[in-house]
Structure 1
């Protein structure tokens, strides 16, 4: 079977991705099955298997789908002001996850499988690299515009990602959404102290 990213089935793929999203939120990664995804899809397991041979292949495509949606949301941001853009990025990373805590749990479960599943590791690495690229680009733009101090943008980006990852993990592991709010405030304070 061809790599899912090379095939064209946008409408069906979107429906399967939405079904996967709902099934992950309801059942989590550990209890997720193709049968449960098919039930959410409203079709047979054979209909899902027509596009994806395995659950792992489907979930790798789902991670691609999430990254694509994140990229689209970044591109939809109209402001080029570095301060506002940085604030919006941090909100997407630390405020938006509060809307879907069940999905955050499922994604952390999938992250825990990354050391054992190359497809997951590759997707999470790609996602991390893209987010770091976006943060670093905003910081460098701010430095170039004289809005931010001349700092090591790579170091600041890695520190911000550590805050983001820590907040997300604590929110899921401790079932404490306030960890995301704390991380968001910490990221704001760190950026303020480091960049100005």
Structure 2
């Protein structure tokens, strides 16, 4: 294994360890020293790969959200137009079952973004990619169903994003609700939203 490859593997390992630590305790309650201890490395080694806790959090979020968006792109965009809502529901349900704490960390980052400019930049990048995914789906729906939006595309994207984001946030606040129960309610609400945005049901 080359030196570069070893460094990449080590960095990925540290991101994985930091992800578990940050997701469990939250950004404010974790220090680089805590992460180094959990990873079984010295603080100096951790600093070699990440100059600050901020840089490490950005790497964690980028890795997690990247996987989440790839899953959305792979399964939701590939679904037949009439099955988009159901595909979205399946992805969200699976994600809430497996990555509940990571979703919580994403909202933690968004709060920090109001105070830390570099976090704000990363949040904008991620939100932009999610908006682009929704835009691609809206274009496809209009072409395949030969229908049009009842409002302008930017407003439709904002409403759909807000519905999904708001649902995830509310789910995280309700510790007693199961992902399956939450998704069942979400799918009904989401179907109603889509019905108001288009002249046909999805």
TM-score by shorter chain over 0.5: yes
Aligned to 2:108: 109
Q: 1:176 to 1:134 in 2, by over 3 A?
A: farther
- Whole-Å Cα distance in 2 between the matches of residues 140 and 194 of structure 1? 13
Q: 1:58 to 1:176 in 2, by over 3 A?
A: same
Aligned to 2:171: 171
- Whole-Å Cα distance in 2 between the matches of residues 173 and 75 of structure 1? 27
Render the CA deviation track for 1:45-69: whole Å, top value 9, x for unaligned.
2221111111011111222212322
Could you tell me which of 24, 46, 49 is aligned with 2:47? 49
Structure showing greater radius of gyration is 2
Deviation at 1:117, TM superposition (A): 0.9
TM-score relative to the length of structure 2: 0.79
Deviation at 1:41, TM superposition (A): 2.1
- Structure 1 unaligned runs (5+)? 1-6
- Whole-Å Cα distance in 2 between the matches of residues 11 and 188 of structure 1? 43
SS of the counterpart of 1:145?
Answer: helix
Deviation at 1:130, TM superposition (A): 0.8
- Work out the number of aligned pairs and report it: 189
Aligned to 1:39: 37
Deviation at 1:75, TM superposition (A): 4.5
Aligned to 1:69: 67
Q: Would you say the 8 A contact 1:22–1:40 is kept in 2?
A: no
TM-score relative to the length of structure 1: 0.81
Deviation at 1:20, TM superposition (A): 1.4
Render the CA deviation track for 1:17-62: whole Å, top value 9, x for unaligned.
2111110122222211112222332222222111111101111122
After superposing the two structures, state which structure 1 stretch, 79-88 or 26-35, moved more.
Answer: 79-88
SS of the counterpart of 2:29?
Answer: coil
Q: Would you say the 8 A contact 2:16–2:60 is kept in 1?
A: no
After superposing the two structures, state which structure 1 stretch, 77-86 or 52-61, moved more.
Answer: 77-86
- Whole-Å Cα distance in 1 between the matches of residues 168 and 120 of structure 2? 18
Render the CA deviation track for 1:82-114: whole Å, top value 9, x for unaligned.
333454345435652343332233322221111
Aligned to 1:187: 190
Deviation at 1:124, TM superposition (A): 1.3
- Structure 2 unaligned runs (5+)? none
- Whole-Å Cα distance in 2 between the matches of residues 103 and 158 of structure 1? 23
Q: Would you say the 8 A contact 2:22–2:30 is kept in 1?
A: yes
Aligned to 1:83: 82
1:140 aligns with 2:143: no
